[in-house]
Chain A
Amino acid sequence: MPSEAEIENDLKKHYIRMERAYKKLERDYQALSIMHEQTERLRDANEAAKELSNFYNRLLLKNTPGITFLLDLDMRFVLGSDKTVEFLGNLDMREMVGLPFAALFQTLMTDAWISDMCGRCAQVMHSRQPANFEEKVLLLNGAELVFQIMITPAEEHSGICRGVVVVMNDVTELSGAKENALRASRAKGDFLANMSHEIRTPMNAIVGMTTLARASSDIDRKNYCLDKIDNASSHLLGIINDILDMSKIEANKFELSSTSFNFEKTLRNAANVINFRIAEKQLDFVVDIDGGIPAVLRGDEKRLAQVLANLLSNAVKFTPKHGTVRLDARLEEQSADGVCTVRISVTDTGIGIDKDVLPRLFTPFEQAESGMSRKFGGSGLGLAISRRIVEMMGGRIWVESEPGRGSTFAFTIRVEPDKEREEESFHTDVNSRKIPFLGETPRTDDGVRGTTVSPSTRPVGENPCADDDARADADAQADVDARTDEVEQYEGRHAILAEDIDINREIVLALLEPTRLAIDCAENGAEALRLFSDSPDRYDLIFMDVQMPEMDGYEATRRIRALETPNARKVPVVALTANAFREDVERCIQSGMNEHLSKPLDCNAVMSVLRKYLRSRNAPA
């Protein structure tokens, strides 16, 4: 039995241990209380921070402009922007979570696209390298969209990849705008090249005829040359006016004036401008004018005439021989306050225009096709200027066309009648008009009087002034004869001159007459090729224009060089062209030409080329 003292001692020891244990519990409790309080506070703050973070994440997804979504390693949807949800048909985001990518997109996209995307995503996850590409996507509903797609590996800070982030930006509009900008840029480039050609061609006539006039002492010969210079200057002025008009339109400084004018007279004047070419191409020209159109109108007569002249000259230009050009004017409506809406149309039986090209026709610097100007000439600005004029006259302009059947260019204008000057009108019947066009032939079959211009009996391609100028040419010949002893003689040598423009041919022929070089003319590349093919050994030199109808100079040269005759590879081909840019020269050389002479032609340069090639070909081997 333990003694009382021992029991007391033992109890004391237990008491001390219990007291120690109690104190420890107290300390533990205190520590846990502090931790609990801090934990509560931290949890609340952390939850609030998470909530805020989630709120901003939702805000980000809601306002992310593109289709953006996260896929896990199994290509299952995790999270996406509202645009993604919208694109996929406004499903509930919660519904989408966990769905395979293929299942989500199968109602919109083709299996091929889905399969391709799955492959690309897998590659990104594997390589950890992002993929960035732009592609045109055909949707199952037939729509075609251009997407810029970025696939990025979804990597944690530690580098572990959890899937991919896919961003799909619809850049269809941007892509279209880019294409338009590129096309506009190309069109401007073509326009510049074309302008260079269009300006140099009349300049060639001006410079060439000036040279001839100076060399001649005969007054008739000089007058003939001056007439040619006058024509070329007018043509050049027209081109410059087009360019200036377009510049004004682009600078928003194009303005109309308002004066009283006789509507029929304006039409007549516009038509008279092309009468000569109508006769040349032996076209039927039909004019129908609604008698209801007030005789005297107020507006910008000059600009109206400009539109008419442009449409009519196009119609003539694009209509083959013996075709028909028709000019119609109708009063569409007249408002209570007297303002008239007049519809004017120009119809031809020409080559017509492809449907795809129609929307671009009224765009500056565009022609139906870039090669169009090569065949038919023109600045490509006329229709754009016409559109602007018509719009400023409160109307609109449009075209209906069918390839091979012809085109109708029509426009409306809103004009006020000038009643005070109505009496001055020279028409006598309000329902019909008799208009003094050249070679008029009244037509009454449709109840409205019109006029036709009879086909000219003059052969096409013949210089219309040739008869009148025959004597002047003979005199000029005398001048040339007088100068032959000053220039080198190439009698017995033969050359081809391929040139589609009459006056240019005339200038070259006149320039080279003193050399006594025998020249056979061709109006296009195909003719030049035929001439050479028929007698390949006859020719010592070929002068080759570049822009020509049917077959251009490049193609003609290439084909001549490809002929299986020794002279085909040897014969010097000299480009005579208004295309004077460096790339034009390079293109000439690449096509097989030996030399490039730019228009306006420099007489000395032409002679130098003759000396270079005709002498060397005579030199002993």
Chain B
Amino acid sequence: MKSAVATSYELDDLEEAAEELASSVKERLDLKKHSVGILLCDADTDGAALTRALKDALGFEVAGMTTLAEFNPEGRQTAAAVLTVLTADDCLFRATVTDSLLQGDHEQKIARAYIDNRPQDTPAGGNGGVLLAFCPSGMPFSGDVYPDILARTQPDMPILGGAASDDYDYRRARVFLSGKEHKDAAAFIGIWGNVRPTFALRHVTSRFAERIRRVTRADGNIVHSVGDETFIRYLEGFGLKTDVPDPLLAFTSYPMMLIHEKSDEVPLMRHISGLNHADGSGSFFGNVPQGALANICLINRNDILTSCRDSMNALLEESKKQPDYDYSTVLCISCCGRAVILGADAGGEGRVLTELLPEGLSLAGAYCLGEICPTFWKDGKVSNRFHNCSIAFCML
């Protein structure tokens, strides 16, 4: 499989942007039998129009999502559209989108899209596949459903993905697939055949606040009480302001670390997605296990840069285990919370990635509201999980 990454800062004249991106790709890449495009772009971009124009110009499906900022081989970009094209003779690329997940049974719709994504016949000599997921934000359900349903429909399929974001407003985040954009549907790109995806993920759990408490009542991604108080009272105990117009933004840089002693899983990181002052509960992007020990993680810029470096190095190290496979692209999903914590050094993670990116590999990535990536459990078992405040990589 070969790949190329092209970037355009033209977000208003989409014909021009499509032309710029398509010609850049064609210049650098000899397109094979099968190709697919991944578009990661600013929320000001009309993704429907741009993917339609790109499909017209390139002749294959283009899927993607909006993001707070994009990564390309030059580092972090803003107000840009980054197109990654994957092409191969020995791989099939299939793009599917779910129906609206706000209406009806969202789990069934996700399962349907997964099943539809699977080709009837995979190319000869194929080793398996990998799924790239572009998920909508602001859904009333936990992000855990994506890996959980995949585990039921295609248990051995690894997945890398994230929830679409925008520049801290989070209401303009969208998902695209070849001429259509969706605020409430997920788009998937399945890569089938001779592909050996390698993953790495890191989050920061080294320092936390002084109020460790047990989650005493939780239901999925809703936490009602922690210790002997409501979730909101628990948050206020940290000194945090809860009477805020935008809880998501107010708590983006303070993820919650959860340690479930009965589980052999590494500590979970969870971002608050909303607060319900009527009953004192809080909602999260992912599930919160009842009985887990909760605390707020204290993360600074150095922690972010260190974990970014560690994760990228781990990815490169892992890729060496496949010396006979020719990797071409690194896809990266980082958390919007990390972008906020970086503060004035917003380009920090991009700088680290550029510095570590080996010659010959392209790079594309986005900041998301939740990351999906396989993770290792304490016993070495690998499982797709939904994460927050992490940085995840997939090398293809």
Name A residues whose Cβ lies closer than 8 Å to a Cβ of B: 13, 16-17, 20-21, 23-24, 27-28, 30-32, 34-35, 37-39, 41-46, 48-50, 53, 157
Contacts and interface: CB of A to CB of B under 8 A. Distances in A.
A306 to B, nearest CB: 69
A171 B134 CA distance: 68
Contacts of A13: 12-13
B168 A27 contact: yes
Contact of B168 (A28, A38, A44): A28
Given A20-B11, A27-B167, 13 more contacts: A13-B13, A17-B79, A21-B78, A31-B249, A31-B340, A32-B343, A35-B252, A38-B240, A42-B209, A42-B296, A45-B240, A46-B239, A46-B298
Interface in B25-58: 44
A26 to B, nearest CB: 9
Chain A at the B interface: SS class: helix
Nearest to A24: B167
B346 interface: yes
B168 A31 contact: yes
A41 B79 contact: no
Interface centre among A20, A43, A48 (most CB of B within 10 A): A20
Contact of A34 (B11, B12, B237, B249): B249
B242 to A, nearest CB: 10
Given A38-B241, A46-B239, A17 B9 contact: yes
Contacts of A48: 239
Nearest to A44: B239
Nearest to B245: A34
Contacts of B237: 45
15 contacts: A17-B9, A21-B78, A24-B167, A28-B168, A32-B343, A34-B250, A35-B341, A38-B250, A41-B240, A42-B298, A45-B239, A46-B209, A48-B239, A49-B209, A53-B210
A13 B11 CA distance: 10
B244 interface: yes
B171 interface: no
Nearest to B166: A27
Interface centre among B167, B211, B250, B346 (most CB of A within 10 A): B167
B51 to A, nearest CB: 20
A35 B253 contact: yes
Contact of A21 (B13, B79, B168): B79
A31 B168 CA distance: 7
B79 A38 contact: no
Contacts of B377: none
Nearest to A36: B343
Contact of A46 (B12, B13, B78, B238): B238
Nearest to B259: A157
A37 B254 CA distance: 12
Contact of A27 (B11, B169, B209, B259): B169
Contacts of B210: 46, 49-50, 53
Interface residues on B, range: 20 to 34
A450 to B, nearest CB: 86
Interface centre among A21, A27, A38, A44 (most CB of B within 10 A): A38
Contacts of A157: 259
A42 B297 CA distance: 11
Contacts of B296: 42
A53 B296 CA distance: 17
A370 B167 CA distance: 94
B141 interface: no
B60 interface: no
B376 interface: no
Contacts of B259: 157
A39 B241 contact: no
Nearest to A41: B239
A13 B8 CA distance: 14
Contacts of A16: 12
B345 to A, nearest CB: 11
Contacts of B251: 38
Contacts of B11: 20
A130 to B, nearest CB: 21
B168 A42 contact: no
A38 B254 contact: yes
B254 A42 contact: yes
A43 B250 CA distance: 15
Nearest to B261: A157
* Pairs A-B, 3 closest by C-beta atoms: A45-B239, A49-B210, A41-B239
A23 B172 CA distance: 14
A579 to B, nearest CB: 63
A39 B337 CA distance: 13
Contacts of B167: 23-24, 27-28
Contact of B79 (A20, A35, A44, A49): A20
Contacts of A41: 239-241
A35 B209 contact: no
A17 B341 CA distance: 25
A32 B249 CA distance: 10
A34 B244 contact: yes
B12 A32 contact: no
Given A34-B249, A41-B241, A42-B209, A20 B168 contact: no
A45 B210 CA distance: 9
A8 to B, nearest CB: 15
Contacts of B78: 21, 24
Given A24-B78, A24-B167, A42 B238 contact: yes
B255 to A, nearest CB: 12
A49 B211 contact: yes
Contacts of A31: 168, 249, 252, 340
Contacts of B344: 32
B9 A35 contact: no
A14 B319 CA distance: 42
A201 to B, nearest CB: 71
Contacts of B252: 31, 35
A8 B69 CA distance: 29
Interface in B147-162: none
Interface string B221-251: 0000000000000000111110010100111
Contacts of A49: 209-211
A38 B250 CA distance: 7
A28 B341 CA distance: 11
Nearest to A23: B167
Contacts of B239: 41-46, 48
A20 B44 contact: yes
Contacts of B298: 42, 46
A544 B13 CA distance: 126
Contact of B253 (A39, A50, A53): A39
Nearest to A53: B210
Interface centre among A23, A42, A48, A157 (most CB of B within 10 A): A42
A16 B254 CA distance: 34
Nearest to A51: B210
Nearest to A31: B168
Contacts of B79: 17, 20-21, 24
A440 B346 CA distance: 119
A357 to B, nearest CB: 60
Contacts of B240: 38, 41-42, 45
B49 to A, nearest CB: 16
Nearest to B12: A16
Contacts of B346: 28
Contact of A38 (B13, B211, B253, B343): B253
A43 B253 CA distance: 13
Interface string B332-367: 000000001101101000000000000000000000
Nearest to B44: A20
A506 B241 CA distance: 103
A42 B242 CA distance: 12
Nearest to A43: B239
A31 B238 CA distance: 20
A402 B297 CA distance: 77
Interface in B55-71: none
A35 B238 contact: no
A486 to B, nearest CB: 89
